[in-house]
A and B are shown apart, each in its own frame.
Chain A
């Protein structure tokens, strides 16, 4: 079963607007990562946030993590048409024997020019 669940499933915005995607997960985690996938292509790592971190920035990306709510958000500022892709959160659990990276079903972002 999926560990992370992204919300919304799909998001359509205009170029220049900000895009916010959320991820909720079920078990305690060590780290949470965000990946991007262009249609039919491989996933590309965007950013990793550790369980003891609350916020992290990378260029136009801002990730927050709230371990008490078991949720994370990915904010893309000043979006561009090239940001159109699916975005996935991935978690690795603290549970012994569950050492694998589990992906959510993703948010499909469309940025309209």
Chain B
């Protein structure tokens, strides 16, 4: 158990809909990362927040947004969902802002299926 908690574990929704994935980082971790894992694209970095502020941005679509709240939990919002958004979405956390040399701890992921 990494200490990173993600909900929901599984989600099935229709195209065009909007979903919110939630993440609670490990106790004491200030950085939260979101990754998308799909068969064709592999593990893609989406976005990082550190202590409530956006820190780094990756291949995140405009239809997706994220935020980190004062209690450090984070939410990833996915809207206007398409079939291709079906994937395993991971949240990860770490203590420091800089990723260099920093171990990040992954949650168990949220399986999103868009039908």
Q: Is the CB of A45 within 8 A of B100?
A: no
Point out the residues of chain A lying under 8 angstroms from B43, CB to CB: 43, 88, 103, 105-106
B54 CB → nearest A CB, Å: 12
Expressed in whole angstroms, the Cα–Cα distance for A104 and B43 within the complex equals 7
A110 CB → nearest B CB, Å: 18
Point out the residues of chain A lying under 8 angstroms from B101, CB to CB: 30-31, 48, 50, 92
Q: Is the CB of A101 within 8 A of B104?
A: yes
Count of interface residues, chain B, beta-carbon cutoff 8 Å? 25
Size category, A interface: 20 to 34
Q: Is the CB of A42 within 8 A of B56?
A: no
Stretch at the interface among B14-22, B64-72, B74-82, B105-113: B105-113
Option from B45, B48, B58, B90 in Cβ contact (under 8 Å) with A43:
B90
B residues with CB within 8 A of A? 2, 4, 33, 35, 42-43, 45, 48, 56, 58, 88, 90, 92, 98-101, 103-109, 111
A residues with CB within 8 A of B? 2, 30-31, 33, 35, 40-45, 48, 50, 88, 92, 99-106
Interface pairs A-B: 7 shortest CB-CB: A42-B106, A103-B43, A105-B42, A30-B100, A43-B106, A42-B108, A92-B100
